[in-house]
Amino acid sequence: MIHTAVALWPSRKTGRHNNVAVFDYRAMYAEIQRADNISPEMLRHEAGENTRAVGNGTHWSQDSVGVLPQLQMDLADARNEAKAEMKKHEPGSSEYAGFNTLQLAFKAQCRHGIWPHGTHRSW
């Protein structure tokens, strides 16, 4: 895991400080993918009607939901269903444990984002 820190207002003081924030980009990947409809089949090579440009200069069609954002939404729905089923059972029961394991697996997949890992694309 890579940890990076940036001091926007450097202080010569050491120790504890107020108004310090941590921003976890890992949790944002999936949300960015869904919000911008980032999926290989939605990439457009130039701006056009109903496209969204993102910070790196790429353009993404907004005409329909891409495969990867749809999969993200489906996993989120499946997690919510597993959590609802889990809450129907007594904590400590095997049923509770099973649904908890299932919802945590869906959570992990959603959190890490879905991308065709192991491939290289020059977006």
How many structural domains does the chain have? 1
In a domain, 4, yes or no: no
**Is the pLDDT reported for residue 1 higher than 50?**
no
- CATH at 104: 3.90.1600.10
Rounded to the nearest 10 degrees, the angle between the axes of helix 28-36 and helix 94-112 is 60
Q: Which residue has the higher pLDDT, 2 or 42?
A: 42
Q: For the chain, where are the E strands, in sequence order?
A: 43-44, 51-53, 59-61
In a domain, 37, yes or no: yes
pLDDT confidence of residue 113: 56
CA distance 4 to 12: 19
The range of the structural domain enclosing residue 29 comes to 25-112
The pair of structure tokens assigned to 48 is: 């056009």
In a domain, 16, yes or no: no
In a domain, 70, yes or no: yes
The pTM of the whole model exceeds 0.75: no
Kindly report, residue by residue over 55-94, the tens digit of the pLDDT: 888 999 999 999 989 988 899 899 999 999 999 999 999 9
**Is the pLDDT reported for residue 45 higher than 80?**
yes
